[in-house]
Amino acid sequence: MDMDDLYRDIILDHCRNPRNRRNLEGSTEAQVHENPSCGDEIRVSIETGPHERLEKIWIDPRGCAISVASASMMSEFLEGKSFEQAIRAASEFCSYMRGERNESLPAEWGDLASLAGVIRYPLRVKCATLPWHAVEATIRIFFP
């Protein structure tokens, strides 16, 4: 099994069983973000804890495998992080996806490292970054 197969399996697993998924349709708490070039749509809602921390990130992603998997991995990765750490992670992740770093996502990104190959497909970059823009916008409501 080579790395590409391993990565594909991780992506498919998140896509088939998105973590922290909840129906957020019609929820006034949720932010809706869309990627018209692919038809992806995501709703994100956060639960905040003391000290400007993310207790929980709820996602309701509809779209392609990359956007759903990215949302699922993001919801796990950001849990427990401070608003500031989460916003920094969102900006770093997006710069990796846009190929602005001369390296792949390091191992500490966990399952998200499996999205490194998206860099080679410019049309899919917006799919991978959509959930991150949505979570950042949601955090900014509490942490302008």
Which CB atom, from 32 or from 143, has the smaller least distance to Zn ion? 32
Which CB atom, from 38 or from 94, has the smaller least distance to Zn ion? 38
Residue of 30, 125, 127, 135 that binds Zn ion (CB under 5 A): 127
Kindly state the smallest distance separating residue 66's Cβ from Zn ion, in Å: 5
Kindly state the smallest distance separating residue 68's Cβ from Zn ion, in Å: 9
The interface region with Zn ion, picked from 16-24, 90-98, 107-115, 124-132 by CB under 5 A, is 124-132
> Strand order of the sheet with strand 53-62?
31-35, 40-49, 53-62
Which positions from 5 through 64 interact with Zn ion, judged by CB under 5 A? 38, 40, 63-64
Q: How many residues bind Zn ion (CB under 5 A)?
A: 6
- 53-58: Cβ within 8 A, 24+ apart: 53/80, 53/81, 53/82, 53/83, 54/78, 54/79, 54/80, 54/81, 54/82, 54/83, 54/86, 54/139, 55/79, 55/80, 56/20, 57/20, 57/135, 58/20, 58/21, 58/22, 58/24, 58/30
Contact residues for Zn ion, defined by CB under 5 A: 38, 40, 63-64, 67, 127
